[in-house]
């Protein structure tokens, strides 16, 4: 744990930065492959849209997980690069479709593709990237890997639909929330680490450990994101606060508060979430209710528990600098809340 005085320095070199440094050569190959495969001979609109998104400096966390898993287990072949590009393409395809579904205007600090071009392009270019990811993974010729990525794709799509119907519905409980989180984040994290291990010939215990790590990391990451959307540990309004509230998404802090609501609070949540009748000052009121029920702290404890589970899963993997960095990463995704 770092003292508060180090946090500014620490923020400059994150565990993810260290992963990037340790895997710099592999990541260069992944980026080259992504650029090569996102092209289209016939439809120039495709590289325009994908370049906008892919070159926008996303964190490339998922491909790093695949590369780290494979290298930690001593892989010396080249298929981990293909699989890393595969998971990034799947991720990018889901971002394009998410932005259409959420009617988003900004992503990674830039206007979204649906805003710059149109929803049509985002839907179809997303489909194209999904197909390209499929071609890439088939090239590995590893049926177990294909099975895992096919299942992950179905879980992702199912989670997105579930989120659509669970939004605006106060009956959404923690079990449904966990299902949504697995779909929108953890399924691809888990598949990313698992396929990295499989391609490296990991044994069953190691594969299970990698899967557990990715799953728990993804859940911790998403809970932390959902907490940050309500202003983080302090629950105060910042520039990125309140998107989920405005979109009437039920995330863990609100689910906890709804479960403990008195009659007046219940009426408030019904108005702003179920009926979508939101007025000036409602976000501040929501944050006050979250503070009253300690919902943020309870959600943070939940994220910490998943983070600890991710770190424990690593015990079943070989001692390696990458393992240490993955452990630090699991700590970091929640620690950013403090």
Site for a copy of itself in 174-213 (CB under 8 A): 176, 179
Nearer residue to a copy of itself within complex by CB, 99 or 212: 99
123 is a site residue for a copy of itself (CB under 8 A) = yes
Spatial separation of the C-alpha atoms in residues 191 and 208, rounded to whole Å = 11
Nearer to a copy of itself, 17 or 139 (CB): 139
Nearest approach, Cβ of 186 to a copy of itself (angstroms)? Answer: 14
Distance of CA 334 to the CA centre of its chain: 13
Instruction: State which residue, 166 or 210, has the beta carbon closest to a copy of itself.
Output: 166
| Contact flag: residue 267 with a copy of itself (CB under 8 A) | no
Pick 222 or 325: Cβ nearer a copy of itself = 222
Q: According to the binding rule CB under 8 A, does residue 141 interact with a copy of itself?
A: yes
Q: Residue 200: phi, psi to the nearest 5? A: -85, 5
Q: Is 248 left (phi over 0), alpha (psi -120 to 50) or beta?
A: left
Report how many residues bind a copy of itself under the rule CB under 8 A: 43
Q: Which residue has the tokens 């598949």?
A: 191
The minimum distance between CB 124 and a copy of itself, in angstroms, equals 5
Written as six digits, the tokens of 74 are 């001593």
**Burial state string for 227-251 with b = 16 or more CB within 10 A and e = fewer than 16:** bbbbbbeebeeeeebbebbebbbbb
Place of tokens 């491909």: 63
Contact 206, 239 (CB under 8 A): no
Cα–Cα distances (Å) from 142 to 139, 189, 244, 334, in that order, read 8, 19, 39, 34
Q: Residue 199 in contact with residue 309, Cβ under 8 Å? A: no
Interface residue with a copy of itself among 7, 105, 135, 240 (CB under 8 A) is 135
Per-position x/- string for 65-94, each x denoting binding to a copy of itself as judged by CB under 8 A, each - no binding = -----------------------------x
Which class for 86: exposed (0-12), middle (13-18), buried (19 or more C-beta within 10 A)? buried
- Among the listed ranges 20-28, 61-69, 162-170, 246-254, the one in contact with a copy of itself (CB under 8 A) is 162-170
**Applying CB under 8 A, which of residues 28, 56, 161, 288 lies at the interface with a copy of itself?**
161
CA-to-CA separations, 253 to 65, 161, 222, 224, 302, in angstroms, rounded: 28, 21, 12, 10, 10
Q: Is 52 in the site for a copy of itself (CB under 8 A)?
A: no
**Contact residue for a copy of itself among 29, 115, 157, 298 (CB under 8 A):** 157
| Contact call for residue 171 and a copy of itself (CB under 8 A) | no
Q: Among residues 45, 271, 291, 309, which is the contact residue for a copy of itself, using CB under 8 A? A: 45
Residue 125 touching a copy of itself (CB under 8 A):
yes
Distance from first CA to last CA of the chain, Å, rounded?
Answer: 11
CB of 72 to a copy of itself, least distance (A): 26
Q: How far apart are CA 209 and CA 216, in angstroms?
A: 10
Q: Which residues bind a copy of itself (CB under 8 A)?
A: 40, 42-46, 94, 97, 100-101, 119-121, 123-125, 127-128, 130-132, 134-135, 138, 141, 143, 146-147, 150-151, 153-154, 156-162, 164-165, 176, 179
């Amino acid at each position: 744990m770092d003292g508060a005085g180090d946090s500014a320095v620490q923020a400059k070199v994150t565990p993810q930065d260290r992963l990037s440094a340790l895997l710099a050569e592999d990541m260069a190959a992944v980026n080259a492959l992504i650029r090569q495969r996102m092209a289209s001979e016939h439809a120039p609109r495709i590289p325009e849209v994908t370049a906008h998104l892919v070159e926008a400096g996303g964190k490339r966390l998922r491909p790093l997980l695949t590369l780290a898993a494979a290298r930690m287990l001593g892989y010396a072949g080249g298929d981990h690069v293909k699989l890393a590009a595969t998971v990034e393409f799947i991720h990018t395809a889901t971002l394009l479709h998410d932005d259409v579904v959420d009617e988003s205007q900004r992503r990674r600090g830039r206007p979204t593709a649906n805003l710059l071009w149109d929803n049509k392009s985002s839907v179809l270019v997303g489909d194209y990237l999904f197909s390209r990811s499929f071609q890439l993974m088939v090239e590995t010729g590893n049926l177990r890997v294909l099975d895992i990525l096919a299942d992950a794709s179905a879980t992702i799509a199912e989670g997105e639909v579930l989120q659509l119907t669970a939004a605006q519905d106060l009956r959404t409980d923690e079990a449904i929330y966990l299902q949504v989180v697995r779909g929108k984040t953890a399924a691809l994290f888990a598949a990313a680490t698992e396929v990295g291990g499989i391609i490296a010939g990991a044994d069953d215990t190691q594969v299970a450990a990698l899967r557990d790590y990715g799953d728990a990391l993804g859940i911790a990451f998403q809970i932390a994101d959902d907490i940050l959307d309500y202003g983080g540990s302090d629950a105060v309004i910042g520039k990125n606060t309140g998107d989920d509230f405005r979109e009437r998404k039920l995330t863990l802090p609100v689910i906890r508060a709804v479960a403990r609501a008195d009659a007046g609070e219940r009426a408030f949540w019904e108005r702003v979430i179920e009926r979508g009748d939101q007025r000036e000052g409602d976000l501040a009121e929501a944050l006050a209710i979250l503070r009253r029920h300690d919902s943020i702290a309870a959600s943070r404890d939940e994220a910490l528990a998943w983070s600890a589970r991710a770190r424990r899963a690593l015990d079943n993997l070989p001692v390696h600098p990458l393992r240490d960095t993955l452990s630090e990463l699991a700590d970091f995704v929640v620690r950013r809340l403090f």
